[in-house]
Amino acid sequence: MRILLVDDDKDLCQLTQKVLVLQGYTVDAFCDAKLAVDCARENKPDLILMDIMLKGLSGPEIISSLKTDPEFKDVPVVFLTALATGEERSSEGGGLTVGGVRYRTIGKPYEIESLLAAVESSVK
């Protein structure tokens, strides 16, 4: 499974990438939103892990843009945010809405187990 990871915290991005690779995932990790979008369009991910607050475009703006492409309609998204406190919110629990579609969010800093659980449950 291919995951697109976008987070402007370089250290957290690299650590998360390493953890996911050790779990057997292929991870394209970026701190730059434009490079991430280019990669997503070239190598369609099975899941997107997206920081909400990025320099330039916000995570929701990027996802809204990608979701206009039918290729990305069914790609699940987990937003990573420092605006929450390590808790996970799903669409049923008032998760973030982008373009009329609800997404999961997971707060930073997050426990690795929580992140892996969110990844697993998002692709089922």
pTM of the model: 0.85
**Position 95 confidence tier, pLDDT thresholds 50, 70, 90:** very low
| Spatial distance between the Cα atoms of 20 and 14, rounded to a whole number of angstroms | 10
What is the domain partition of the chain in residue ranges? 1-84
pLDDT tens readout for residues 62-75: 998 898 899 998 89
The sheet carrying 47-51 orders its strands as: 26-30, 2-6, 47-51, 77-81, 104-107, 88-89
pLDDT tens readout for residues 35-91: 999 999 999 999 999 998 888 888 888 998 898 899 998 899 998 887 654 444 444
* Domain 1-84: CATH superfamily, name plus number: Response regulator (3.40.50.2300)
